[in-house]
Structure 1
Amino acid sequence: MEQPQLEVRSKQLVEVDGLQFKDLNGNGELDAYEDWRLPPQERAADLVGQMTIEEKVGFMLINSRFTGYQTEDHEPKSHDGVLDERIIEAGTNIFATRKVFGTTETIERMHLRHFILRENEAPSRVAAWANAMNEVAEGTRLGIPVLITSNSRNENGEMVFGMNDAIGIFSTFPATLGIAASVLGDQADGGDASIVDGFAAAVRHEWVATGLRKGYMYMADVVTDPRWQRTYGTFGESPELVSDIITRIVDGLQGEELGPDSLSTTIKHFPGGGPRENGFDPHYAEGKWNCYPTPGSLETYHLPPFEAVAAKAASFMPYYSAPSVQRSVYQTFREEEVYYEEVGYAFNDYFLRHVLRDRLGFTGYVNSDSGITDNMCWGVEHLDRPSRFAKAIMAGTDMIADSNNIEDLQAAIDQGKVSMSRVDEACQRLAVEMFALGIFDGQTYVDAPAADEKVKASPGWALADEVHHKSVVVLKNSGGTLPLAVGSSAYVEVFHKSGEQAELKTKQAREEITAAGALQVVDDADAADVVLLLLDPQSGDYFNATPGLLELTLCEDKPLRSIAGEPYTETTVSDLRRFRDLAGAARERGAKVVLSVNVSLPWILDDVEPLADAVVAGFSTFYDAQVDVLTGRTPAHGKLPITLPASEAVIAVDEDGICASPNDVPGYAKDAHMPEGMTYAYVDADGNTWALGHGLRYG
C-alpha cells in the first residue's frame, strides 16, 4: 500500500518503518486502528475495543445537522461561522423529540459521528463545513472522524424535506423516473442501461469532492400501488429494470469495493415500499402496513432489486412499514414460508436476520429510516423508547436515524435489553465503512476551495442534458402533430396546484423555451400556431395522510368523502377551467394543442387526453429539453417506466378496503388479477396503450 497524504489539525503524526500515521489517541504509539496498512475489519475491532460505552452509543446514531450558513448572525456559531452551535428545542420536525445541541457539543460530549446534511449549499461551503466538523472530531479522545450523509442531490424536482437538496448546484438530471424512461428508450434501440454508469460516476465525482461520502440512495422499491406518493423517487415498476439500474448505481458509486474514492450507498427501502395499503405512506399511521394480497408477489416483484445488490451495498435501509397479516396471503421466498411479524421492518428480526443476512448474504450494516423510535414506530408503539431501541437493535438494525437520543439507547443497554456483544457488532460494522472510505487517513479533509470547480468540471452536466432529452415520452401523436415545425409560434402556460407556483413555472418555461430558439413564444394564445399546456399536478403531502384516498385524477375542488365518511374537496391542478378553455379555443380555430404532463405519480388522464392533439410525459424534465423533442431537434426516445391507469374504476377501493387492482402487483401485470371485463392500462383515442414501455417515435 502507498503512503496516503495525511493531514492533522490538532493531533500529531508518528513515524514507523519510515511511514507516517496519525496518532489519533495521542499516546505516542501506533495503534492498530491508526495503521492504514491493516484491513478495515482489524482496525475496526481495535477501535471498538478502545471505545467507552458512551462513545459506542453516540456512534450508533445519525442525526440531521445544520450548517452555520443559514443561521442568523446573532445566533451562536464557530469556525468562522461554518458550524452551527445553536440549541434547538424538541418538536421542530416529525423525526425528532429531543433537544438538538450545538455541533461541537454533539461531537465532543454526545459522541455522534454520523450526520445528515439537508441544506442546499455550494460545494465549497459543504466541504468547509465537513472539514470543520472533522477538525472538532479529531480533537476528541480517540480522534474518530465524522461521516456525512445526504439524500440524493442530482435530480430535478420540487423541494421536499431532505430531498432534491441541491438542484442546479450539482449536475441535475431528471427525476429517477426520467432516468428509467431514458434507459427503456435505449433498450428499445438495442442498447442497455449503461447510461446509469455515467450517472453514478458523475455523482461519485461530485460528492467526494465536497466531503459527502455516503448517500441515502437510491430507492430499489418497485412501484405496485399507484397511489404511493413516493413513486416519483423510484425507477418504476419493472423488477428487472430496477434491479439492473440499482446494481449499476451501487457498482458506480462504490466501485469494486469501498475505497478512498468511493461513495457509500444505503439502498432503500427493504423489503420494498411498493405494496402499500391503498397508497398510504408509513410516514403516518394510516400507511403503517405493507400488504401482500397476491400469491408470490413478494418474491416475484419486491425482493429482486434488493437481492441484486445484497452482496455489494454497504448498507440497507428498512422501510417504516410492517407486514400485515390481515391484508396478506401466504407467501414464500426460496421455497420457505414467509413469516409475518407485524412490526416495522427495522424491528423485524425475520426480515433483517433471516431474509436479508441468511438468505440474501448481506454483510453490511442496517441503517434505520428517520424517527423509528419516536413517531414512526409501527408495531412497537406500546413500548417505551428504551425498549424500542432494544427491539430494533436486537432485531439487526445497527444505526438509528435522525436521532440524538443517547439517553434512551444508553438506558436500553443499562437495563440489559441490548447486549454489549450486539453493540460491539453494530459499531464494528459502522467503523469498517469509515476505515474503507479512508476517512481516518487521507480522506479526513478535502480541498474546500477547489470543490466548486471540481463539481463544475464534472461530466455529469453534459450527461444530465442528454438524459433530460432522452427522458421525454411521446404518449400520443394524432395526425402527425409532432414534430412541430421549428419557428412555430407557441403559447406556453404551466398549470400547478399552487397558483403562485404556476405563475413562477410559467415564467421559467417561457424563458427556457425562448432561449432554446425552437419555438417563438407569444403572449396571445389566439395568435399561436401551437398551444403548449404543461400540467404539473400535485397530490397529497409527504408527511400527512389525505382525508381519503390519494387523488390521481386531474381535478379542482372535487367533492370527495374521507375514510370516516366526512365530505371534503381535493385539487390536484388549479385553474382547470382555463386549461379547458385554452385547449377548446385552440382546436376550434385549427391550432394544435400539445399537452405535457409531469409524471410524478401515475396520473389518470382520461379527462384531459381527448383535449390534446399530442401528449408527452416528462419527469421533472427541463422545459427546453421537452421542446427540443417536440420540434424534432432531438428524436423522441423515452419509454414509460410505469403504467398509467385507465380510470378511477381500476383503482377503486371498496368498503372493505380492497382495491380493484392488487396493491402488490405492478401495473404491467395487473390485468391477470382484474375483475372480469376490466383492463388496467389507459388506452387513448388513437388506440395507444399507456403501459410500461410505451413511447412513440417520429417517422
Structure 2
Amino acid sequence: MMKIRYVQNDEGPELAYSSESGLGLIEKNGHYFKDHDRTGKLKEFEDWRLSPQKRAKDLAQRLSIEDIAGLMLFTSHLAIPSTGKRSQTYGGKEYDPQVTTPSELTDIQKEYFCKNRIKHTLVTTIQSPQVAAEWNNKVQSLSETMPWAIPIVNSTDPRHGYNSDAEFNEGSGGQISQWPESIGLAATFDPELARRFGTIASKEDRAMGISMYLGPQIDLGTEPRWMRYSGTFGESARLSSKFANAIVEGFQQTLGRWGKESVSTMAKHWPGGGVIEAGRDAHFAYGKYGVYPQNNQQYQLLPFISVLDKKLTDVDRIAGIMPYYSISMDFAPGQSENVGNAYSHYLITDLLRQKYQYDEVVCTDWCITADEPSNVVDILSGDQSWGVEENFTVAERHLKLLLAGVDQFGGNKDPEPILWAYQQMCKMMGKPWAEKRFRKSAMRILKNIF
C-alpha cells in the first residue's frame, strides 16, 4: 500500500510526498525541499521560501515546449470511478467493483498524465470523499515519477448544490455540505454568508484532493429565460460584485493568505454570458449570440472588474478567468470581432489584459475547438467553435485562441494542435516571439500551481 511521507520544516511548510514515487528531498541550512528535477541541487522553483511568481518564472524557462503544451491542456470530465456516461476502461476492461478498486486510475487517465503531460483535470461525480482522496494520492504519486514532478491540479465545477442535472453541476449532491444555488445565496443579501460558504467548501474540496474551483459564475441574470440563471447572483451588478468578492476570498484565503485550505477560483463567463439572445444558450448553435439591445456592455462587466481589480491583494484577486462560448455581437463596434468570446483578441488582450491589467490565467470553456456535432440538439456535447466553425481547422482554432491571449484549453486532451500552433507562430513572428509567448502562459499557470 502506498504511504505518504511527511516532513515538517521549522517556520516553513509541511512537505508531503509518496513513498513509491522515488521523489527525494534536499536539505539545506536545516530546511527541506522537494528535489523535483532529481539533481540534488536546489533550484529557485524548488525553493518554497521564494514567491510563487519567482518560482513560476524560473520553472517556465526550464520547461520544453512539449511540457508547456501539457500545462495548457485540461482533461474532459472525469468520474471516480469511471462508470456510466463517463465510463473508461481499467486495464482494457470496464469497471468491475469485484475486481477494480474505485480509486484506481483508468487507462485514459494514465495516458493523459504520462503521454500528453496534462496537469489539470475536471472531476465530476465521485463515489465518496474518501475514494476521491485516495484517487488523488495515486494521481500525485504518478506525477512525482514524471520529469519536473509538477503536481496535478484537480478542479471542480460547482458541487455543493443538491441537483446534478447538467454537465456544469453534475458533481453536486454528494457526501459533502449542501448549499443553495448562487441565486439562493444572493437572496439572503448577505455576502458574509457567501464568504463562509467559500471557506467551508474549500476545506472540503482540499480534503478530496481538489484545488481549483471553476467558479464563481458571476454573469448577471439580466435575461431570466437563460437556463443558467440559477447559477448567477441575480441582475444587480452591485450585489453580484459583493458576492463575487466574498466567495473568492472564502475559497482562496487560508487565514488571510494562500495556504493548505486554499482553492484557486476561476470566474466565468467573461464578458458576461447572461445576455444570450431570447434566453437561449450558447451550448446550442441557435443560442450562440450575446446581444446588447440597450448597449449595456459595461454593466455586464462590473462583477468581473470587482474580482480582477489590480488593487486587490494576490489572494483576493481571481486566479483565473473563463470566457463563455457565445459571440458577444458588436461588443465594441469597429474594434471587436464577432467570434466566440475566447477567440476575440479585443475581449481577451485589448480589454482584459491591457485595459484591466489582468495578467493571470485565461482558460477557454470546455471543448470549443472541435467541429460542431451533427446532432445539433445534443446539449452540452461540446464543440462550440462559434464564429470560427467554418474555414478554420482544429489546429487553426488553437492558433487563433493563443493569438487572442488565451493560456489554457478546457477539455482539450491532444497536444498536437498546440504544437502545430507554436510552429506557425515561429514562422509568423519568429521563434523568440513564439517561445516568449508560450513561456508567458506557462508562468501564469505555474504561479497558480505554486
TM-superposed deviation, 1:79:
9.2
Which position in structure 2 is the counterpart of 1:104?
A: 110
Comparing 410-419 and 211-220, the one that deviates more? 410-419
Letter in structure 2 aligned against 1:427: A
RMSD: 2.2
State the distance in 1 between where 2:321 and 2:406 align.
10
Contact 1:193 1:244 in 2 (8 A): yes
Secondary structure, aligned partner of 1:221: coil
Distance 1:28 1:158, change over 3 A: closer
| 2:443 matched residue in structure 1 | 428
2:397 pairs with 1:388: yes
Contact 1:155 1:176 in 2 (8 A): no
Within a 5 Å distance, the mapping from 1:458-477 to structure 2 comes to: none
Q: Deviations over 1:413-438 (max 9, x none)?
A: 12336822111111110000011xxx
Would you say 1:226 and 2:234 are equivalent positions? no
Distance verdict in 2 for CA 1:150–1:158, change over 3 Å: closer
- Please, which of 154, 165, 171 is the counterpart of residue 160 of structure 2? 154
* Mapping for residues 222-621 of structure 1, pairs under 5 Å: 222-255=220-253, 256-295=256-295, 297-300=296-299, 302-311=300-309, 312-325=317-330, 339-374=335-370, 375-381=383-389, 382-416=391-425, 419-435=434-450
Give the whole-Å Cα distance in 2 for the aligned partners of 1:400 and 1:140: 22
Kindly indicate which of the two structures has a greater share of residues assigned to helix: 2
Structure 1 residue 338: deviation in Å? 7.6
1:167 aligned residue: 173
Long gaps (5+) in structure 2: 1-9, 310-316, 371-382
Structure-2 residue corresponding to 1:84: 105
Deviation at residue 180 of structure 1 after TM alignment: 1.4
CA separation in 2, counterparts of 1:167 and 1:365?
29
2:50 is aligned to 38
- Following superposition, the deviation at residue 55 of structure 1 comes to 1.1
Question: Of the candidates 122, 133, 149, which is equivalent to residue 143 of structure 1?
Answer: 149
Query: Is contact 1:193-1:245 (8 Å) kept?
Result: yes
What is the TM-score when the length of structure 2 is the normalising length? 0.84
Q: Deviations over 1:133-155 (max 9, x none)?
A: 11101001111110000001111
Conservation of the 8 A alpha-carbon contact between 1:316 and 1:365: yes
Return the offset for 1:392.
0.7
Q: Which amino acid aligns with 2:110?
A: T
In 2, Cα distance between the equivalents of 1:110 and 1:165? Answer: 25
Which of 183, 192, 195 is the aligned partner of 2:193? 195
The answer on whether the counterparts of 2:116 and 2:414 sit within 8 Å (CA) in structure 1 is no
TM-score by length of 1: 0.55
Deviations along 1:206-256, one digit per CA (max 9) or x if unpaired, are: 112211110111111011222211112111111111111111111111125
Aligned residue identity for 1:153: R
Task: Render the CA deviation track for 1:48-104: whole Å, top value 9, x for unaligned.
Answer: 222122111111011123434646784379995523323xxxxxxxxxxxxxxx222
Aligned: 1:212 with 2:227: no
| Residue type of the alignment partner of 2:272 | G
Give per-residue Cα distances to partners, 1:141-188, cap 9 Å, x unaligned.
1111100000011112242124141314111112221111122xxxxx
2:378 is matched with which residue?
none
Q: Is the 8 A contact 1:170 1:206 kept in 2?
A: yes
Alignment match, 1:53: 65
Establish whether residue 4 from structure 1 lines up as the match of residue 10 from structure 2: no
The code of the aligned residue for 2:244 comes to I
**SS of residue matched to 2:75:** strand
Secondary structure in structure 2 of the residue aligned to 1:245: helix
Counterpart amino acid of 2:362? V
Give the secondary structure class of the aligned counterpart of 1:149. Answer: strand
Match of 1:75 among 86, 90, 94: 94
1:215 and 1:121 mapped to 2: Cα distance?
19
Q: Secondary structure at the match of 1:217?
A: coil
Q: Residue type of the partner of 1:20?
A: Y
What amino acid is the match of 1:29?
K
- SS of 1:49's equivalent in the other structure is helix
Aligned residues: 401
1 CA distance for matches of 2:132 and 2:36? 24
Query: Equivalents in 1 of 2:183, 2:244: separation in Å?
Result: 13
Alpha carbons of structure 1 residues 76 and 30: separation in structure 2 relative to 1, 3 Å: farther
Q: Residues 548-571 of structure 1, C-alpha deviation per residue, up to 9 Å, x if partnerless?
A: xxxxxxxxxxxxxxxxxxxxxxxx
Alpha-carbon contact 1:258-1:264 (below 8 Å) kept: no
Deviation at 1:120, TM superposition (A): 3.1
Contact 1:353 1:396 in 2 (8 A): yes
- Consecutive unaligned residues of structure 1, counting only runs of 5 or more, are 87-101, 184-191, 332-336, 436-699
Cα drift, residue 361 of structure 1: 2.8
The separation in 1 between residues aligned to 2:369 and 2:339, in whole angstroms, is 12
Q: Does the 8 A contact of 1:155 with 1:164 survive in 2?
A: no
Alpha-carbon separation, structure 1, partners of 2:100 and 2:419:
31
Distance 1:321 1:105 in 2: 31
Cα 1:378/1:15, change in 2 over 3 Å: same
Name the SS of the counterpart of 2:439 in structure 1: helix
Match of 2:28 in 1: 16
Q: 1:314 to 1:258 in 2, by over 3 A?
A: farther
Shift in Å at residue 199 of structure 1? 1.3
Whether contact under 8 Å (2:163, 2:172) holds in the other structure is no
Q: Which protein shows a greater Rg?
A: 1
Q: Which whole-Å CA distance do the structure 1 matches of 2:207 and 2:94 have between them?
A: 29
Which AA in structure 1 matches 2:414?
N
One-letter amino acid of the counterpart of residue 94, structure 2: E
CA contact (8 A) 1:370 1:402 kept: yes
